[in-house]
C-alpha cells in the first residue's frame, strides 16, 4: 500500500497524521542528530548511506516526519523515541557533580543510560561530596516546584558530625540558625539524633551549603551528608550508589501537591 502525503502548513505530513490531528512529530534528521549526538550533516550522510530504517523500510529523506508509533533503527540498533517528559531517581555516589557539563569533574549523567540524556537536569543539586537522592528530569516546570524558594519543598538528610550534638541543638534548629553573611534566620528545621554523631535533619530551604553552614554556626562540622528524601519522594533503598530507576506515577504527582 502506498503512503499518502498531503501538504499541511507547508510541510509534508502523513495523511493519517492530519486526520487524527497529531502534531507532535519530528524530522528524521533532527531525531538522528539528537539520538546519536551527531550533526545534522552527518545524520543526512547516514540516511543517504541507507543506514536508517523506519518500520523496516530504508528512509533516505531527512525531512521524513516521525510519528510516535514508528520504530527507527540505525545499522540494526533500535533508537527509542522520547515520548513526553521523563523522571528518574538516582542514588548519587561521592565524586560526581549534578551539573550537566563540567570540565573538571564527572557528572551524574554518566549513570543515566537514556536517549538524549544531556537534556535531563537535576531537580535540586547535591555537592560533589554529598551522596543520596537526586531527581533527574527534563520537565522544567516540575523541577521548579522542587527548587523554587516559594514552595518550601522539604528535604531530609542523614548527617554525620565530628562531635556529638549538644542537647539543645534540635531546639536551636527549630528556632532558626543565623548563618554567616546572611541577614535572616533559616526557616525552622527538624533534627533528631539517630545515634552518636549521626543525626537526621529536615529543612525546607535550599541556601548555599545550608546544612554544612548550619552546623558550622553551632561549632560543629559535617563529615558526611546523605540525602534521603525530597518532598514525599524517598530514596529507594534497593538502589546501589550509581543506580537509578524511573519515578512512579504517584511519586511524580506528589511534587507540587500541598502538604
Q: Please, are residues 66 and 52 in contact by the beta-carbon 8 Å criterion? A: no
Q: Does domain 84-151+234-259 have CATH number 3.90.1170.50?
A: no
Question: What pLDDT does 257 receive?
Answer: 60
What 3-state class would DSSP assign to 2? coil
- Cell numbers for 22, please give them: 497529531
Strand spans (E) along the chain: 5-8, 11-14, 26-27, 52-54, 57-58, 65-66, 72-74, 77-79, 87-92, 121-122, 131-137, 155-161, 190-195, 198-203, 222-230, 233-234, 244-246
The Cα–Cα gap between 58 and 72 comes to: 10
Question: What pLDDT does 258 receive?
Answer: 53
Could you tell me where the DSSP H helices lie in 37-159? Answer: 40-48, 140-147
Question: What pLDDT does 243 receive?
Answer: 97
Question: What pLDDT does 97 receive?
Answer: 96
Q: Do the domains spanning 5-79 and 84-151+234-259 agree at the CATH topology level?
A: no
CATH code reported for the domain at 5-79: 3.10.290.10
Question: What pLDDT does 19 receive?
Answer: 40
Provide the greatest CA pair distance for the chain.
79
- Report the predicted TM-score, pTM, of the whole model to 2 decimal places: 0.75
Question: What pLDDT does 17 receive?
Answer: 45
Q: Please, are residues 206 and 59 in contact by the beta-carbon 8 Å criterion? A: no
Question: What pLDDT does 36 receive?
Answer: 86
Active-site residue list: 127
First to last CA, the chain: 56
Question: What pLDDT does 5 receive?
Answer: 32
Question: What pLDDT does 119 receive?
Answer: 87
Q: Please, are residues 134 and 177 in contact by the beta-carbon 8 Å criterion? A: no
What 3-state class would DSSP assign to 16? helix
Q: Where are the domains of the chain?
A: 5-79, 84-151+234-259, 154-230
The Cα–Cα gap between 202 and 210 comes to: 11
Q: What is the pLDDT along the chain (259 residues), one digit of tens a residue?
A: 334 333 333 334 444 443 434 445 789 998 888 788 889 999 999 999 999 999 999 999 999 998 888 999 999 999 888 777 999 999 999 999 998 888 899 999 999 998 888 889 999 999 999 999 999 999 999 999 999 988 899 999 999 999 999 999 999 999 999 999 999 999 999 999 999 999 999 999 989 999 999 999 999 999 999 999 999 999 999 999 999 999 999 999 999 765 4
Q: Which CATH class is domain 154-230?
A: alpha beta
Q: Give φ, ψ of 122 to 5 degrees.
A: -85, 130
Question: What pLDDT does 159 receive?
Answer: 98
Amino acid at each position: 500500500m502506498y503512503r499518502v502525503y498531503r501538504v499541511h502548513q507547508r510541510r509534508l505530513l502523513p495523511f493519517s497524521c492530519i486526520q487524527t490531528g497529531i502534531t507532535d512529530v519530528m524530522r528524521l534528521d533532527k531525531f538522528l542528530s539528537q539520538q546519536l549526538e551527531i550533526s545534522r550533516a552527518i545524520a543526512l550522510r547516514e540516511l543517504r548511506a541507507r543506514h536508517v530504517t523506519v518500520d523496516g523500510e530504508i528512509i533516505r529523506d531527512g525531512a521524513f516526519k516521525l510519528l510516535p508509533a514508528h520504530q527507527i533503527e540505525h545499522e540494526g540498533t533500535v533508537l527509542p523515541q522520547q515520548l513526553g517528559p521523563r523522571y528518574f531517581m538516582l542514588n548519587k555516589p561521592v565524586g560526581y557533580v549534578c551539573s550537566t557539563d563540567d570540565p573538571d569533574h564527572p557528572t551524574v549523567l554518566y549513570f543515566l543510560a537514556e536517549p538524549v540524556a544531556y537534556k535531563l537536569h537535576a531537580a535540586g543539586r547535591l555537592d560533589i561530596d554529598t551522596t543520596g537522592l537526586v531527581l533527574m528530569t527534563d520537565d522544567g516546570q516540575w523541577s521548579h516546584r522542587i527548587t523554587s524558594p516559594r514552595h518550601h519543598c522539604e528535604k531530609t538528610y542523614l548527617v554525620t558530625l565530628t562531635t556529638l550534638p549538644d542537647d539543645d541543638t534540635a531546639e536551636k534548629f527549630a528556632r532558626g540558625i543565623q548563618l554567616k553573611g546572611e541577614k535572616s534566620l533559616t526557616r525552622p528545621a527538624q533534627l533528631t539524633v539517630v545515634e552518636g554523631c549521626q543525626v537526621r535533619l529536615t529543612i525546607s530551604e535550599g541556601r548555599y551549603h545550608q546544612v554544612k553552614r548550619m552546623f558550622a554556626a553551632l561549632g560543629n562540622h559535617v563529615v558526611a551528608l546523605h540525602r534521603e528524601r525530597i518532598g514525599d519522594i524517598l530514596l529507594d533503598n534497593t538502589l546501589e550508589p550509581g543506580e537509578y530507576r524511573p519515578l512512579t506515577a504517584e511519586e511524580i504527582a506528589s511534587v507540587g501537591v500541598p502538604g
